[in-house]
Amino acid sequence: MSQLLWQKPGVRVDARIQRFLAGEDVILDREFLRYDIRASRAHAQGLQRIGLLRDTELAGIERELSALDAAVVAREFVLDERFEDCHSAIEAWLIERLGDAGKKIHTGRSRNDQILVATRLWLKDQLARVDALAREVAEVSLARAEAEAMLALPGYTHIQRAMVSSCGMWWAAWAEAFIDDAQRARDTLALIDANPLGSAAGYGINLPLDRDYTTAALGFGRLQVAATYAQLSRGKFELAAVEALGSATLDLRRLAWDLSQFTSAEYGFVALPAEYTTGSSIMPNKRNPDVVELMRAVHASVAAARTELEQLLSLPSGYHRDLQFTKGAIVHAFARGLGALELLPDLLRNLEWRSERMQAALEPSMYATDLAVDLARQGMPFRDAYREAANPARWAEGDSQVSLQARVSPGAAANLRLDVLRARLKGLR
């Protein structure tokens, strides 16, 4: 490791302690390095605006930051154990190439606001991806809801056969769920779209930094005004972002549970695309829904990250090194969460219903609720109609299409109100 930014003369550095302090930072900071480069450019421009950098120095810094960014993209520069973190790597690159001009880049800022702004920019991109994927899932679901509106599907409560339902209703449910998830991602992005750069260590700095300029330069929606709150928001904003991701992965988990059941031999309602299944290492007859099962598992990682973040925030105001662990929580949560969500649209586009198996599962008892409501509509008090319809002697083979066509309450099979959902989705584009 190169000399530490904070190292003082006469202070011995213990390698074991440094390994503990660094943790996964060098690996995790690969996620944030390019965002820190962007923020460093804006900060340098701000220093030039208040006369702390000459025009030629700014030009050199901008040139070398662009060169570093290109090297990162080309994988010619890899953040590794030579550096304490992404911040020290950027500063070392600039000093090596620019000398004293490079040494000026840290004027007026702390590593605290560096990681705050880099993380904030990274989270904005992650939430934008959640928004886009949730909208794509909703679009696929709406298209299939319309195409398969009256395809009969058994409806379950308590994992017991309950009433006749339809694929249209199943798809519409996921469409509305993921529209809500997109909205939540978007609302959370608006919450965290605040620029902390220039708050330094949380107490401001004795320089007239143009924080409004860096806010605009970095594309933030607003300035995070209070310098001390910028530090207080670390972890809080990460928690909000993970909760928005968790809204989508929670729906993904329940959808994956449906598909796990529906693809089993006992149900046999769905055939998955072949590429979404794997073989057994010992049983030649098996094709396993491993992708769906891992989709179902992903929410556990997101929920664990949320819990880790919440527990880390048991702190007084000001910066504390505990907050370093917020990086791992968000990186792991979004890596797994987005990795699963990215596979979902194509899975939903290409799964196939086995209508003959679904129709065979519609037993006479599943029309009992229709019978009770029909008797009530004819004038019988509903509780009497309920008892009458509970008599198995009254059950008979029903017609699933007649049942579905009669289901006219808003949101039911014959009145899906897909136009309302389409309008909501259009409003998110």
Q: Are residues 81 and 134 in the same domain?
A: no
Q: What is the pLDDT at residue 260?
A: 95
158, 281, 314, 409: the catalytic one is: 158
Provide the CATH number for the domain around residue 246.
Answer: 1.20.200.10
Write down which residue in 57, 87, 107 finishes a domain: 107
- Asked about 299 being catalytic, the answer comes back as no
Catalytic residue from among 233, 280, 365, 403: 280
Same domain, 318 and 192: yes
Q: pLDDT value at position 72?
A: 97
Residue 117 lies in a domain: yes
Q: Which one, of 178, 181, 180, 176, lies nearest residue 418 by Cα?
A: 176
Same domain for 340 and 197?
yes
Residue ending a domain, among 107, 136, 158, is 107
Identify whether residues 59 and 136 lie together within a single domain.
no
153 falls within a domain: no
Task: Please tell me the predicted confidence (pLDDT) of residue 1.
Answer: 44
The total of other beta-carbon atoms located within 10 Å of residue 273's CB is: 13
Does any domain span residue 9?
no
Task: Check whether residue 130 and residue 65 sit in a common domain.
Answer: no
- Residue ending a domain, among 338, 359, 380, is 359
Residue 98: inside a domain: yes
| 158 noted as active-site residue | yes
343 and 250, same domain (yes or no): yes
Residue 164, beta-bridge partner list: 154
Q: Judge whether 381 lies within some domain.
A: no
Asked if residue 243 and residue 101 are part of one domain, the reply reads no
Residue 421 lies in a domain: no
- How far apart CA 272 and CA 94 sit, in angstroms, is 52
CATH number, residue 30 = 1.10.275.10
23 lies in the same domain as 125: no
**Domains in the chain: how many in total?**
2
Predicted pLDDT of residue 82: 85
The residue whose two tokens read 């339902």 is 165
Same-domain check for residues 43 and 117: no
Question: Residue 279: what pLDDT?
Answer: 72
189 and 85 belong to one structural domain: no
Is residue 408 in a domain? Answer: no
Query: Is 61:97 a contact under the CB 8 Å cutoff?
Result: no
Same domain, yes or no: 42 and 118 = no
Structural domain includes residue 275 = yes
Mean pLDDT in order along the chain per 10 residues (429 residues): 50 68 80 98 98 98 98 95 90 97 96 96 98 98 98 96 97 98 98 97 95 98 97 96 98 97 96 84 73 96 98 93 94 98 97 97 96 96 96 93 97 98 96
Q: Which domain holds residue 82?
A: 15-107
- Write the single-letter amino acid at 310: E
Question: Nearest CA to 304 among 333, 273, 271, 270?
Answer: 333
- Residue 248 shares a structural domain with residue 355: yes
What six digits make up the tokens of 145?
């809801």
The phi and psi torsions of 271 (rounded to 5 degrees) equal -110, 125
